[in-house]
Chains A and B, each alone.
Chain A
């Protein structure tokens, strides 16, 4: 055992301290900071004030129709227009979901863009996505877009092995020609630094960004280049002390403080190959990146992108306020996605069928006594999803009585107690003990049995 360095006397209490400053229940748990964070960069201790994010502009961008669509069969135009409409409602009037990007190559791509813009929403702003080919700016211009993403891959894997440039200098010159073409076309370029977490940061990324900043200084502000840091393979690391090129803190610091990229022109685009995608996006915000690029439900190339709905709750937790966000739209989006054949795992946070469903009787007992014990926040108020229990042999009478009260919509003093459901509890247990059942009992089965075994309650609360 290690030596005891400090004694910690019990602070006795007869009233609970529920830490409601951090866990307000009406909002997701808040993310609060105390003191600076230190990162050593090139031997120097650099302090970051994460708490400042509460008052600093951070925003969400969306790529559901671009990266998200690369991971699934194409959406129809109607589907995309409906999703765009809901995205606008979700992000609210302050434009927390600030932009979404569209392909521009096919007739359907362009019709989709036109119909989304015809809805008249201010946010998300529509931007494009094209190859790093000069001729493609014609498409952007014809679509009347002010901004487009262009591929400017930054690792030597891409520069030499994919794009077959003979040198980094040749590559950089070619990229800069494209950026110049964007300026000439009156379109703001958003340079997607593909594979940046596997790139030579000092040898290529920083010199390229220096040059972009220099070029941008020659054009009006609204045309100045934006930088999207693309963690293409999910190699980014959030931990302080990690080395470049994988260190998100160092990467963002160097771009913002050495290259002078303003926060509102810097965006993080992650992938989930190592289960780090959401935290990496949040880390990018905290270290000075203005935008976190996301997709609905994390759908995207291979393992996907930062889930938009996760970023929404992170945003609220950091800001301590809904900021005009309509979180109910998340549930509507999930229901819509399911209706058009997009599978969402049952245990998927915030929207999975079972995300706030407990199966253990002991947890159900906690829910029965106070739903805050086992519910992450007021999921009914924010997502129209009250906490639930799934009924198996492990649910116990506590689980069953929670199900019954939710089914009849009973709260407070009118809730039915365990004694009144004993016949139903016996039927459930016999399913497993007597009949050898191995599956959970469906809501439909329970409804039928409730009607049969609790006819008085059925008559009272379901009207016959």
Chain B
């Protein structure tokens, strides 16, 4: 099974129409990867679908970087009993 980081990067690439190798842990979704307002919402929706979780809206939308998203999703998965590959 792919790791959380790989799955987050893959989902990000699909939503933002980027190549996987363009996406780094330290990248900001908005500043570096160019996510616009509606794309930020689409990203969160995609993460929820990918991992089968529900995220708190304001908290999820305030996550700035790919690395922080990986940590946040890992934490939510643990809280909601969803097993993931770290």
Chain A residues with CB below 8 A from B45, complex form? 419-420, 422
- Count residues of chain B with CB under 8 A from any CB of chain A: 11
B77 at the interface (CB under 8 A from A): no
Chain B residues with CB below 8 A from A419, complex form? 41, 44-45, 48, 55, 57, 60
Chain A residues with CB below 8 A from B42, complex form? 422, 425-426
| Interchain pairs with CB closer than 8 A, number | 30
Considering the chains assembled together, what is the distance between the CA atoms of A419 and B48 in angstroms?
9
Residue among A361, A396, A419, A420 with the most chain B CB within 10 A?
A: A419
Chain A residues with CB below 8 A from B61, complex form? 418
A80 at the interface (CB under 8 A from B): no
Give the interface residue-count category, chain A.
10 to 19
B62 at the interface (CB under 8 A from A): no
A417 touches B57 (CB 8 A): yes
Interface code B25-55, partner A: CB below 8 Å = 1, 0 otherwise? 0000000000001100110110010000001
Interface code A398-420, partner B: CB below 8 Å = 1, 0 otherwise? 00000000000000000001111
Considering the chains assembled together, what is the distance between the CA atoms of A397 and B40 in angstroms?
10
B38 touches A426 (CB 8 A): yes
Instruction: List the A residue with the shortest CB-CB distance to B40.
Output: A397
Instruction: List the A residue with the shortest CB-CB distance to B55.
Output: A419
A429 at the interface (CB under 8 A from B): yes
Nearest Cβ on chain B to A394's Cβ, whole angstroms: 11
Nearest Cβ on chain B to A369's Cβ, whole angstroms: 10
Interface code A280-303, partner B: CB below 8 Å = 1, 0 otherwise? 000000000000000000000000
Chain B residues with CB below 8 A from A422, complex form? 38, 41-42, 44-45
Considering the chains assembled together, what is the distance between the CA atoms of A425 and B38 in angstroms?
7
A429 touches B38 (CB 8 A): yes
Nearest Cβ on chain B to A386's Cβ, whole angstroms: 22
Residue among B44, B45, B48, B60 with the most chain A CB within 10 A?
A: B45
Instruction: List the A residue with the shortest CB-CB distance to B44.
Output: A419
Interface code B44-82, partner A: CB below 8 Å = 1, 0 otherwise? 110010000001010011000000000000000000000
Instruction: List the A residue with the shortest CB-CB distance to B54.
Output: A419
Considering the chains assembled together, what is the distance between the CA atoms of A426 and B41 in angstroms?
10
Instruction: List the A residue with the shortest CB-CB distance to B45.
Output: A422
Nearest Cβ on chain A to B36's Cβ, whole angstroms: 8
Chain A residues with CB below 8 A from B48, complex form? 419
Of residues 405 through 464 on chain A, the ones whose CB sits less than 8 Å from some CB of chain B are 417-422, 425-426, 429
Considering the chains assembled together, what is the distance between the CA atoms of A85 and B41 in angstroms?
51
Chain A residues with CB below 8 A from B44, complex form? 419, 422
Interface code A351-376, partner B: CB below 8 Å = 1, 0 otherwise? 00000000001000000000000000
Considering the chains assembled together, what is the distance between the CA atoms of A419 and B54 in angstroms?
10
Chain A residues with CB below 8 A from B57, complex form? 417-419
Considering the chains assembled together, what is the distance between the CA atoms of A426 and B44 in angstroms?
14
Known contacts A419-B45, A419-B48, A422-B45, A397 near B38 by CB under 8 Å: yes
Considering the chains assembled together, what is the distance between the CA atoms of A421 and B37 in angstroms?
13
Instruction: List the B residue with the shortest CB-CB distance to A425.
Output: B38
Instruction: List the A residue with the shortest CB-CB distance to B43.
Output: A422
Nearest Cβ on chain B to A154's Cβ, whole angstroms: 61
Interface positions of A (Cβ within 8 A of B): 361, 396-397, 417-422, 425-426, 429
Apart from A397-B38, A426-B42: 9 A-B pairs, beta carbons within 8 A:
A418-B41, A418-B57, A419-B44, A419-B45, A419-B48, A419-B55, A419-B60, A422-B45, A426-B38
Query: Can you list 9 contacts pairing A with B, beta carbon distance less than 8 Å?
Result: A397-B37, A417-B57, A418-B57, A418-B61, A419-B48, A419-B55, A419-B60, A422-B38, A422-B44
The 7 closest A-B pairs by CB, nearest first: A417-B57, A422-B45, A422-B41, A425-B38, A422-B42, A419-B45, A419-B44
